Structures are given as C-alpha cells and as structure tokens.
Amino acid sequence: MRSLLFVPGDSEKKLEKGLTSGADVLLIDLEDSVSAERKDAARQIAAEFLRANQGQKSPRLFVRINDLASGLADADLDAVMPALPHGILLPKSNSGKDVTRLSAKLNVHEAHADVAEGTTQILAIITETALGTLSTATYPDASSRLIGLSWGAEDLSAVIGARAVRDETGRYTDVFRLARALTILGASAADVAAIDTVYINYKDDAGLARECAEAERDGFTAKLAIHPAQVPVINAVFTPSADAVHHAQKIIDAFASDPSSGVIGIDGQMFDRPHLRRAERLIGRVRGS
C-alpha cells in the first residue's frame, strides 16, 4: 500500500477513472468532497460502484464515512456495508476508542452480510482535532482491523484557528510538524502503516516528489492523493528500489545465518538488530504490495 486516492462518492465518472489510476487504494469519499445535499446520492452511487467491482484485488476499495460525531456515519455504513468494501476510512478520530466503536459497528454489519467477522479493515485519520492529535498513543489494541493511521492539517487548522499550515518557505509550521511526527509514532506504536497526508497542489509534481521523499525518509510508507496525476509520483517514491531490497535481504540473510549474533558485518559495515528490524519491515512492504 503506497498510494491512496480520494474520489468523490457522488461522481460515477471519477470513480471509474480511479480504477485505472494505478492507486493501490481508492478512498470513496462520503465526507468532505460531498455536499450535504448530495450525501444520499453519494451513498447510493458508492454502493453501486462497490457491487460492480467486488472481488478485484487492486485497487482496494475503501469508503471514507463521515465522522462518528456527525450523526451521518451510521447511514453511511448502512448504505455501503452490504456492498462489502475492503475497508472503512474513519475521519476525525479522537482516540483508539473511536476505532473500537467503529469496529463494533462493523461486527454487526458483517453478521448481517454473512461474512467473517473482521473482514472489513480500518484506516483512521487521527490529527484532525486537537484531542485526536493529543491521543495518538491510544491506538495499540484498538482493533485488529486497524491497518494504518494518517494525519490531516486542514481540518486541524480550522479547529485551532491557524491562519496557515505552512510558512513562507512552504514548510509546515510547528503545530502541524508535531501532528505529522505524532502520527508516525502512533502508527509505530500500533504496528500499522504510517500514511502521509495529502499534498493539495496537484499540479506541482516537483513539490509532491520532494514531500514524498521526506515522508519516506521519516518513516511513512504511503501517501494520500487528491488527483490521479499524483499517483505515479507517489508510487515511484514509496516503491523500494531494487538496490534497497537487495541490501535489506542481505541483512536478513546474514542474521539468519548467525541467529545468536547481535551485530553482523556486511561489506565493511556493521549492522545490529535495529537494522534487521528495518530490513524486515522493508521486505514486508514489498511482499504486501
């Protein structure tokens, strides 16, 4: 899972285009990109799209529902869960308790659909509220369904009253850098994927590539996209290179040949157990993609 593309749930044309975008995950949106007047139509269109594309392995089809406090989430789930999405994206999650609540709701829907409990996966956006940003350590053991955590700057800026999320150089200001860092740490603590937020200037490929490279350097393994044109850039950056895969496998093989060793020498360099763990995570990403 490298690229996750948002697609408005009320646009048949954009949903169909998303299938050929190359994205690993389509995020069928029932929240921000759909007006209040179009919510019911979006639910119907999303459910029909899910039914028409059941069983395909790529892209995986997730639905971003409205947040649990909105009063709209249950109607969203009622509409789309019978169509068996791969997963649900939960926005504005305030803590691991919200993921646990969503998981309980999914248990009921899966029972009604006669599918195995736990089939539907969960992604969560965890920094769109002040409380959520301060609760990023609460996701371990929230639900076995949880596979990834992401963050958002725009909703958080509105909540806290920030006039901008970036400074005059284009870098995130301190509050949003903190939210970003806490997402990486929260995802690591929960042992799930850390997914970087959207880059809103979809015509700036160079800026997107730079932000992807920084995100990958810091521990993110995927990124949200708002336009199909962003997907190839994201995929290129978050796909481990052949050299990186080869090097990681050498570290794994070296430790496998000497399991009792805490430090291994390879090509004149020393590698210890943290390097092994990093190598295993990289190989796991390749095998899981």
Domain borders along the chain are 3-238, 242-288
Residues 243-267: tens digit of each pLDDT: 778 778 888 888 888 888 888 888 8
For residue 55, the model assigns a pLDDT of 81
Q: What was the pLDDT predicted at 289?
A: 52
Q: With a cut of 90, say whether residue 124 has pLDDT above it.
A: yes
Residue 280 predicted with pLDDT over 90: no
**Partners of 266 in the beta sheet?**
269
Span 6-57, pLDDT tens digits? 999 999 999 999 999 999 999 999 999 999 999 999 999 999 999 999 988 8
Q: Which pLDDT belongs to residue 288? A: 67
* Residue 154 and residue 165 in contact, taking contact as beta carbons nearer than 8 Å: yes
Mean pLDDT of 85-110: 98
Q: What average pLDDT is seen over the chain?
A: 94
Nearest-angstrom CA–CA distance, 279 and 192 = 16
Tell me the CA distances in angstroms from 29 to 47, 156, 175, 213, 271, one per residue in order: 12, 19, 26, 26, 44
Q: If you average pLDDT over residues 143-168, what whole number do you get? A: 97
Give percent of the chain above pLDDT 70: 99
> What per-residue confidence (pLDDT) applies to 94?
98
Averaged pLDDT, 56-72:
95
pLDDT of residue 165: 96
pLDDT at 247: 79
Looking at the whole model, is its pTM more than 0.85?
yes
Question: In CATH terms, is domain 3-238 a member of 3.20.20.60?
Answer: yes
Residues near 259 by Cβ (< 8 Å), separated by ≥ 6?
A: none
Determine the 3-state secondary structure of 242 from DSSP.
helix
Listed range (106-120, 143-157, 260-274) with the worst mean pLDDT: 260-274
Distances (CA, A) of 27 to 194, 198, 244: 16, 12, 29
Residue 60 has pLDDT above 70, yes or no: yes
